[in-house]
């Protein structure tokens, strides 16, 4: 005896209850299974670090004077050397290392060239170093800023000379490897503070 299937899913006649139940599931699979979302890497979000409003105080040292921010700590005789001093930014884990050098007038240009050589050697590969020259009021001394982009170990450095054998230099160094993206506001704030230090700087006779 031959048998004939009746009430098939999609055959002639009225669909069965099973067909009616499965049809929405198949439709869902076809519609949403064919939708492919493009996946893109999301940029890393860093918490914004607020930099304090600057309030400055005067440092009167035997050979030099300058103004520095009140939220930084000035350490003289750094490493037991009378001509070395540190400006410690404790909350941001960074130190401005400064030193005073006295040399013969004929050696000043060579010392400046050596400083610049070190600045460019320390900069990461394919990183720009911007040099800015300036003169103090009354031309009492000449200065140079060296601003290094990217994650440089020393993003801000400077060198000052009175053209008579005295040189004062500084390098801003972080305790840990610098991540410029996460500390952009901090680096910008410290750069302003260092500029203020240089603008108020004086060599003493």
* Stated pTM of the model: 0.74
Q: Which has more confidence, 126 or 86?
A: 86
Tell whether the model's pLDDT for residue 59 goes beyond 90: yes
Per-residue exposure over 155-192, b if at least 16 CB sit within 10 Å of its own CB, e if not: bbbbbbbbeeebbbbbbbbbeeebeeeebeebbebbee
Q: State the pairing for strand pair 56-60/84-89.
A: unpaired
CA distance 56 to 96: 16
Contact 86, 97 (CB under 8 A): yes
Compare 203 and 1 and report the one with higher pLDDT: 203
Instruction: For the sheet with 64-69, list strands across it.
Output: 56-60, 64-69, 202-203
Task: Quote the distance between the C-alpha of residue 202 and its chain's center.
Answer: 29
pLDDT at 4: 45
Confidence band for 6, pLDDT divided at 50, 70 and 90 = very low
Domains parsed from the chain with CATH numbers: 56-203 (3.40.1000.10)
Label residue 5 by pLDDT band (50, 70, 90). very low
pLDDT band at 123 (very low <50, low <70, confident <90, very high): confident
Q: Mind listing the pLDDT tens digit for each residue in 15-41?
A: 555 555 555 565 555 555 555 555 555
User: For residue 79, what pLDDT is reported?
Assistant: 78
Q: Give the model's pLDDT for residue 124.
A: 85
Cβ–Cβ under 8 Å, residues 173 and 148: no
């Amino acid at each position: 005896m031959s048998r004939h299937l009746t009430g098939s899913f999609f055959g002639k006649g009225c669909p069965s209850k099973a067909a009616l139940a499965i049809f929405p599931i198949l439709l869902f699979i076809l519609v949403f299974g064919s939708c492919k979302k493009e996946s893109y890497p999301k940029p890393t979000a860093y918490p914004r670090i607020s930099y304090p409003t600057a309030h400055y105080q005067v440092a009167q040292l035997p050979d030099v004077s300058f103004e520095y921010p009140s939220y930084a700590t000035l350490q003289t005789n750094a490493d037991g050397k009378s001509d070395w001093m540190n400006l410690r930014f404790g909350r941001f884990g960074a130190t401005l290392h400064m030193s005073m050098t006295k040399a013969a007038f004929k050696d000043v240009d060579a010392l400046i060239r050596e400083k610049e050589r070190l600045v460019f050697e320390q900069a990461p590969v394919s990183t720009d170093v911007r040099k800015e020259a300036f003169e103090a009021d009354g031309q009492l001394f000449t200065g140079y800023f060296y601003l290094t982009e990217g994650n440089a170990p020393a993003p801000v450095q400077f060198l000052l000379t009175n053209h008579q054998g005295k040189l004062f230099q500084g390098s801003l160094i972080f305790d840990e490897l610098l991540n410029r993206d996460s500390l952009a506001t901090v680096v910008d704030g410290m750069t302003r503070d260092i500029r203020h230090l240089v603008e108020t700087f004086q060599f003493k006779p």
